[in-house]
Amino acid sequence: MLSPVLRGHRGRGLGAALMIGMAALMASLTVSVEGGTAAAAEPTKRPAAAAKPALTFTGQVAPILSHHCGGCHIAGRKGGFQMVSYAGLMKSGVVRPGEGQSSRLVEVILSGDMPRGGGKVSPSDLGLLMKWIDAGAPFDGPDPAAPIDAMARKATAGPPAAAPTKPVVAVKLKPGEVSFAAAVAPVLLEHCAGCHDADQPEANLSMVSLDRLIRGGRGGPPIVSGKGADSLLIKKLKGTGIDGQRMPLGKPPLAESVIATIEKWIDQGLKLDQLTPQAELDAVVAAGRSRQLSHGELMKVRSEAGANLWSRAIPDETPVVLERGDVLVIGNLSASRLDELAAAAEAVDRRLREQISGDDAPLIKGGIVVYGFAKAYDLSEFWQLVFSDERPKGLTAAAGVSGDVVYAAVVPPSENKIAGKKNSEDKNDDAADTRAILTEQMTTAALLGRGVPAWFARGAGRAMAMKAEPKADLVKAWRRELPAALKQSGSPADFFAGHGDPLAAVVVSGGFVDAIMPTASRLESLVRQLDADKPFDQAFGSVFRGTPQTVFESWVVRASRVRR
């Protein structure tokens, strides 16, 4: 009668089964224990109680699982099975504590079904897994929900790499230095980001932004600042000194000159020259492209990209497109209403140019795309595409950057509402609200296109709108909402982290920037410094005499006293 170890090998030949079973058995008797070797015969004397369990999940089992199973069942969910953590592994039922030979995890290894892709579990590793399960599959770590990959890296890591002494921020490059935006990010976006995306990245390594790339995945950080040749990313691209396959997977290898450029960028210290580490690669690439193109050239690129973005968000409706100066208006409003919106947007652009960037300079290089939606539902579809989220209830306008498109999206007063007005004064009220919305969103877009933090861009946009249209019904409502919004916005830390109610956050940021920016000249000074490549925090400190956090905290105290 066959033993349980061998029963799974019918059909493979008794000789082969005996060899595998004996190898596993011998390995289980000679497995390394706490750095030494345990003999088959038990020693005459042994301690009454060990300081640590003989087999550790975190130090011995996790590295085996991560190495042999991680690509398919830790980073992924192949076959519908995933074991990200010890808790997940035990919940899956593939391990039966105390029954190593009959556990499914061991059975699929003994049968040769796993791991797939050419790698094999050595007899010693298999014996260790069996012995650990026979011992009850104990866990020795502090958190059963902790990632198995993280445990494996800690168990097998050498001396830790020196952490960066400074956070990565955008800097002005010296002559001869590699531009991340122009030379590195486009390569990563084209050849890597498809597999290493945000939702289910291969090997838990996302490359959608520089921040995510530096953070690394299940193999640890793929780049070591200042050490290109030692970085896993370069080794993978070259196909040398690695486990697994050369990257990019399923594509021709990158040209040696391209790899050398990426390696040089790593050697020079991971310098970022556009936007922020958290900015998505398509935005960084677009920012790099905008620096290389003229204003007119970029307008053509932005016009085409703006039309494509509409077709992706609302594919079943062909929009009307109007070009007015530096503003491209795209929408599904009636022809007359869209013409009114375009005229208002052109006027707002002209005024903002005078106030922020000067008469001869555009509000932002390449202009702004203004989307005009007939219904809030259309804005929701657009919002879902660009933000991958539901539109917050109550928000009827937005601004942002999506690849090459710097946009303001609005739902102006409807045609029916305007047609139903009883007199021209009421219609003028709606026109003032429309100008306020356009001023808010176009200012916000121009600042976001310069890489300004969202809280300030939205606050400055609303502040400029309140100064431009102080009698608009919409502006009066914004001012009335500030006391309640302050109570809802939480702590200053919550505010800067983007937590809390999004509507309240916009109201608070608008009230804050309006208070510290009595005239548009301060925003003009800030924009001038940003266009000269000064980081936002430095430019903010120069204009407002403090850090954003300290200035905000002082304003909250003053605003709370006034409203008591």
Q: Quick check: is 321 in a domain? A: yes
CB-based contact 109:121 (threshold 8 Å)? yes
Same domain, 463 and 442: no
Same domain, 186 and 101: no
Q: Quick check: is 167 in a domain? A: no
Q: Position of tokens 């590195």?
A: 184
Q: Quick check: is 168 in a domain? A: no
Cis preceding-peptide flag for 142 (omega within 30 of 0): no
Same domain, 408 and 421: yes
Q: Look at the chain and report how many structural domains it folds into.
A: 4
What stretches of 451-547 show up as alpha helix (H) in DSSP?
454-468, 473-488, 492-497, 502-516, 520-531, 536-544
Quote the pLDDT of residue 240.
87
Cis preceding-peptide flag for 248 (omega within 30 of 0): yes
Q: Quick check: is 175 in a domain? A: no
Same domain, 321 and 214: no
Same domain, 395 and 490: no
Q: Quick check: is 174 in a domain? A: no
CATH number of domain containing 318: 3.40.30
CA dihedral 529, 533, 537, 541 (to 10 degrees): -30
**For 500, phi and psi rounded to 5 degrees?**
90, -175
Same domain, 331 and 393: yes
pLDDT tens digit at each of 564 positions of the chain:
333 333 343 344 434 443 444 444 444 443 333 333 333 344 444 444 444 456 889 888 988 888 777 666 765 566 667 777 888 888 888 899 999 888 888 888 888 777 765 567 888 888 888 898 999 999 988 888 777 877 877 776 554 444 444 567 778 888 999 999 999 999 999 999 888 877 667 777 888 899 888 888 767 789 999 999 999 999 999 998 887 788 998 889 999 999 999 999 999 999 998 878 888 898 889 888 888 899 999 999 999 999 999 999 999 999 999 999 999 999 999 999 999 999 999 999 999 999 998 767 899 999 999 999 999 999 999 999 988 888 988 889 999 999 899 999 999 875 434 444 445 555 567 899 999 999 999 999 999 999 899 999 999 999 999 999 999 999 999 999 999 998 887 788 888 887 778 889 999 999 999 999 999 999 999 999 998 888 899 999 999 999 999 999 999 988 877 655
Q: Among 533, 480, 530, 531, which Cα is nearest to 507's?
A: 480
User: What is the bridge-based pairing of β-strands 36-37 and 327-331?
Assistant: unpaired
Same domain, 478 and 533: yes
Same domain, 33 and 118: yes
Which residues, listed in sequence order, are joined to residue 407 by a DSSP beta bridge?
369, 400
Measured on CA atoms in the order 15, 21, 23, 26, is the torsion positive or negative?
negative
Number of H helices, E strands in the chain: 24, 7
With 0-12 CB in 10 A as exposed, 13-18 as middle and 19+ as buried, what is 159? exposed
Q: Show which of 254, 284, 314 is a domain's final residue.
A: 284
Report the C-alpha gap between 486 and 556 in whole angstroms. Answer: 8
Q: Position of tokens 């995890």?
A: 105
- The range of the structural domain enclosing residue 510 comes to 454-564
Report the C-alpha gap between 241 and 223 in whole angstroms. Answer: 15
With 0-12 CB in 10 A as exposed, 13-18 as middle and 19+ as buried, what is 496? middle
Q: Show which of 284, 308, 324 is a domain's final residue.
A: 284
Q: Quick check: is 172 in a domain? A: no
Indicate the SS3 state at residue 33. Answer: strand
Against a cut of 0.75, is the pTM above it? Answer: no
Same domain, 378 and 498: no
Same domain, 98 and 246: no
